[in-house]
């Protein structure tokens, strides 16, 4: 096809690459690549299809360009971001918003559209000069599916292209097969690492910007390398998808999807789950004996009256800190195999092997890490802080299908898997019981999902006991007003034939002495109780916010799955309902919502006020600390 950019693109591409574009017959794709080929001015542009040869070419170029380095084990590579480029840049990640919508988006980090566009295009001008760029086609969710969102990535970072090739499904063939009416509907990502230092790290971090245009489904990322700032298809795409789903009546959520395997009943039951960072999300998705569909982002649709889910991704971009043989045996085993794997911001020892914090391995005294090629024990940064062997946000990038517990059939299902249960888990030491079922979907969203918090610890953040609100475990990525987003979650299940049950979990409840009440493996018990409730196999005890397990059922589950004797004393303490704590929790949620969304629907606030009144009365009638079985709902629930 002809385009005003034809001559320009032919000058920067091989004939083969240009023909890969032309055969798509997609004017919007051609204009996107042409516009930024002209503006960012790379020396060459390579266009990838879905072939194994192009996948290998990306891997080879990542090494050739010095963005990744081979490790001792075949297939493993290591990448370093600059010392100041180790996490998502929340300050400079902004929504570009049309002037008429600025007030509506006031609580989200936004910039006026034309102002933001002028700034980011200024940084993008000639930002790829002298570099070799790559164009890759991907899709979020399975290709040729009702869930599919096609995506185009244009980047001068072969590490970014390599990461995305591991993490996402290739979609060149999908683009070739798109009908004429579909050809305008895809996400676009333009990324440049910008000027780089002698280690290949972005030099101009003061000009690091990640600007998202949800109105036109394009994300600009300039002068950044850390994957959370540069890999467009992950959290950048998620923000676009949350906005798109809100307009179209489906959901994009920060959730894993997993299958709970009940061997006795010969069945698998699918759960989705949302947990803020460091609250047990990955460890829940990877519970031994269960199977995983996806660990991070899910799309949900109403398919023929059923609540269906797909995993958006095909890989894991996981935090590697504290991954060891004891706590994460499946992941740890894979990190030590000869297979394609990118380690980022860990230590490369003199033996050319990777080492990270909390690995349980004996670690070298010197090597290369995120601080430079001359790390040694005791090395300090410019501020006098001692630099550890690896950064606390070090990562690994790997394919999901490496895992022995990978549910390939569920992953490949083009119409998704049917979700029967949804889990919401935060971190608090004194309020939420280990597992509770919500009385309804609406209550599940308002009392479980919207009230999620993560409690800080003095050891990690310097201020113990601070409750950080994290509604839906999605607050960093919600791309339109919070109240509207919440109502879309509530309304999503209307007209469904069967609505999933909603459960809360809390793995971090502490004893009066300050110890955790249960160990990490107890989450298998809470999951299987929830699975039994989904299938009507357990009775439950009412509380002012839902329904909790009977002691006898948990005792049997602890013995069956963990071979542990679970005592009545433990159960009574863990499942005591603490009225004052819950009232305070709901008041915090009200304050946060009204702060974040000044037009928060009255429906939400009124429901919380009703819940506060109910809990307050329960405290008056049954005591402020209600023991399991000590509360009566007056016959108004189906326990």
Each residue's pLDDT tens digit, 200-223: 899 999 999 999 999 999 999 999
Which whole number is the average pLDDT over 280-285?
Answer: 91
Which of these, 271, 210, 208, 258, lies nearest to 238 by C-alpha position?
A: 210
Q: What is the pLDDT of residue 460?
A: 43
534 pLDDT band, cuts 50/70/90, is: very high
- 3-state helix/strand/coil string of 237-260: HHHHHHHHHHHHCCEEECCEEEEE
Contact of 108 with 214, CB cutoff 8 Å: no
Each residue's pLDDT tens digit, 68-77: 999 999 999 9
Catalytic residues: 279
Q: What is the pLDDT of residue 208?
A: 97
Q: What is the pLDDT of residue 635?
A: 64
Residue 21 has pLDDT above 60, yes or no: yes
Structurally, at CATH architecture level, domain 6-69+82-248 sits in 3-Layer(aba) Sandwich (3.40)
Question: What is the rounded distance in angstroms from the CA atom of residue 161 to the CA atom of residue 140?
Answer: 15
Question: What is the rounded distance in angstroms from the CA atom of residue 132 to the CA atom of residue 60?
Answer: 13
Residue 270 has pLDDT above 70, yes or no: yes
Which whole number is the average pLDDT over 55-61?
Answer: 98
- Please determine, looking at this structure, whether the domain spanning 262-313+420-575 carries the CATH number 3.90.228.20: yes
Report the chain's mean pLDDT, rounded to a whole number.
95
Alpha helices in 297-336 (DSSP H): 329-335
27 pLDDT band, cuts 50/70/90, is: very high
Task: Among 126-130, 437-441, 516-520, 615-619, name the one with the lowest average pLDDT.
Answer: 516-520
Sketch the domain layout of the chain as residue ranges: 6-69+82-248, 262-313+420-575, 317-400
Q: Specify the 3-state DSSP secondary structure of 214.
A: coil
What residues are paired with 318 via a beta bridge? 396
pTM, two decimal places: 0.95
Residue 548 has pLDDT above 70, yes or no: yes
Which whole number is the average pLDDT over 427-448?
Answer: 97
458 pLDDT band, cuts 50/70/90, is: very low
* 226, burial (CB in 10 Å: exposed 0-12, middle 13-18, buried 19+): buried
Which of these, 528, 580, 310, lies nearest to 419 by C-alpha position?
A: 310
CB crowding 469-489: b at 16 or more within 10 Å, else e: bbbbbbbbbbbbbbbebbbbb
Question: What is the rounded distance in angstroms from the CA atom of residue 93 to the CA atom of residue 209?
Answer: 6
Q: What is the pLDDT of residue 637?
A: 56
Q: Specify the 3-state DSSP secondary structure of 460.
A: helix
Residues 6+ apart with CB under 8 A from 77: 59, 62, 63, 68, 69, 70, 71, 341, 342, 343
Q: What is the pLDDT of residue 639?
A: 56
Tokens standing for residue 70: 């081979």
Question: What is the rounded distance in angstroms from the CA atom of residue 425 to the CA atom of residue 506?
Answer: 6
What is the radius of gyration, based on Cα positions, of the chain? Answer: 25
Which whole number is the average pLDDT over 4-18?
Answer: 97
Which fold is adopted by the domain 317-400? Answer: Phosphoenolpyruvate Carboxykinase; domain 2 (2.170.8)
* 381, burial (CB in 10 Å: exposed 0-12, middle 13-18, buried 19+): exposed
Question: What is the rounded distance in angstroms from the CA atom of residue 456 to the CA atom of residue 428?
Answer: 9
Each residue's pLDDT tens digit, 81-99: 988 899 999 999 999 999 9
Which whole number is the average pLDDT over 505-530?
Answer: 95
Phi, psi of 296 (to 5 degrees): -140, -50
Each residue's pLDDT tens digit, 310-352: 999 999 999 999 999 988 888 999 999 999 999 999 999 999 9
Cβ neighbours around 238 below 10 Å, total:
23
459 pLDDT band, cuts 50/70/90, is: very low
Question: What is the rounded distance in angstroms from the CA atom of residue 82 to the CA atom of residue 195?
Answer: 12
1 pLDDT band, cuts 50/70/90, is: low
Contact of 49 with 17, CB cutoff 8 Å: no
457 pLDDT band, cuts 50/70/90, is: low
Each residue's pLDDT tens digit, 408-430: 999 999 999 999 999 999 999 99
Cβ neighbours around 552 below 10 Å, total:
12
Half-sphere exposure of 1 (CA within 13 A, CB side): 15
Contact of 541 with 639, CB cutoff 8 Å: yes
Q: What is the pLDDT of residue 464?
A: 64
């Amino acid at each position: 096809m002809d385009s005003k950019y034809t001559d320009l693109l032919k000058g920067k591409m091989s004939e083969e690459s240009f023909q890969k574009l032309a055969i798509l017959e997609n004017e919007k794709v051609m204009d996107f690549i042409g516009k930024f080929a002209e503006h960012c001015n790379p020396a060459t542009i390579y266009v990838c299809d879905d072939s194994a040869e192009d996948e290998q070419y990306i891997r080879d170029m990542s090494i050739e360009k010095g963005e990744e380095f081979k490790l001792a084990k075949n297939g493993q590579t290591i990448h370093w971001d600059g010392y100041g480029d180790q996490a998502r840049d929340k300050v400079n990640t902004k929504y570009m918003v049309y002037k008429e919508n600025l007030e509506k988006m006031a609580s989200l980090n936004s910039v006026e559209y034309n102002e933001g566009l002028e700034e980011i295009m200024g940084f993008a001008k000639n930002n790829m000069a002298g570099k070799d760029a790559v164009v890759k086609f991907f899709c979020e969710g399975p290709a040729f599916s009702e869930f599919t969102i096609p995506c185009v990535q244009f980047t001068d970072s072969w590490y970014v292209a390599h990461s995305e090739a591991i993490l996402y499904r290739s979609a060149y063939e999908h683009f070739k097969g798109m009908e004429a009416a579909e050809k305008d509907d895809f996400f676009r990502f333009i990324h440049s690492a910008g000027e780089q230092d002698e280690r290949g790290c972005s030099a101009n971090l003061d000009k690091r910007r990640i600007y998202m245009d949800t109105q036109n489904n394009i994300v600009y990322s300039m002068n950044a390398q850390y994957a959370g700032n540069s890999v467009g298809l992950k959290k950048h795409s998620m923000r676009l998808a949350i906005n798109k789903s809100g307009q179209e009546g489906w959901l994009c959520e920060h959730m894993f999807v997993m299958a709970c395997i009940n061997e006795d009943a010969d069945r698998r039951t699918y759960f989705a789950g949302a947990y803020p960072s460091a609250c047990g999300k990955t460890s829940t998705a990877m519970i031994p004996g269960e199977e995983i569909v996806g660990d991070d982002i899910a799309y949900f649709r109403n398919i023929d009256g059923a609540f269906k889910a797909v995993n958006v991704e095909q890989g894991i971009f996981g935090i590697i800190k504290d991954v060891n043989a004891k706590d994460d045996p499946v992941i740890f085993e894979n990190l030590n195999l000869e297979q394609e794997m990118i380690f980022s911001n860990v230590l490369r020892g003199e033996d050319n092997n990777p080492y990270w914090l909390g690995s349980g391995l004996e670690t070298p005294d010197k090597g290369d890490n995120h601080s430079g090629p001359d790390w040694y024990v005791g090395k300090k940064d410019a501020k006098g802080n001692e630099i550890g062997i690896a950064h606390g946000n070090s990562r690994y990038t790997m394919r999901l299908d490496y895992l022995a517990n990978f549910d390939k059939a569920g992953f490949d299902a083009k119409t998704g898997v049917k979700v029967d249960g949804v889990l919401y888990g935060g971190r608090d030491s004194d309020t939420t019981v280990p597992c509770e079922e919500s009385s309804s979907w609406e209550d599940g969203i308002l009392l479980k999902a919207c009230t999620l918090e993560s409690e800080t610890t003095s050891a990690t953040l310097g201020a113990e006991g601070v409750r950080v609100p994290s509604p839906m475990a999605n607050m960093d990525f919600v791309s339109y007003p919070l109240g509207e987003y919440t109502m879309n979650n509530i309304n999503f299940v209307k007209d469904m034939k069967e609505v999933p049950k909603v459960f809360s979990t809390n793995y971090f409840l502490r004893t009066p002495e300050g110890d955790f009440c249960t160990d990490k493996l107890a989450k298998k018990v809470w999951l299987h109780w929830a699975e039994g409730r989904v299938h009507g196999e357990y009775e439950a005890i009412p509380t002012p916010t839902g329904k909790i397990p009977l002691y006898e059922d948990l005792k049997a589950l602890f013995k069956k799955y963990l071979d542990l004797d679970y005592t009545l004393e433990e159960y009574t303490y863990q499942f005591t309902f603490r009225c004052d704590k819950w009232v305070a929790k709901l008041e915090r949620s009200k304050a946060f919502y009204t702060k974040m969304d000044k037009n928060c629907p009255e429906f939400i606030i009124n429901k919380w006020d009703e819940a506060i009144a109910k809990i307050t009365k329960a405290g008056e009638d049954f005591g402020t600390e209600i023991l399991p079985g000590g509360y009566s709902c007056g016959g108004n629930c189906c326990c």
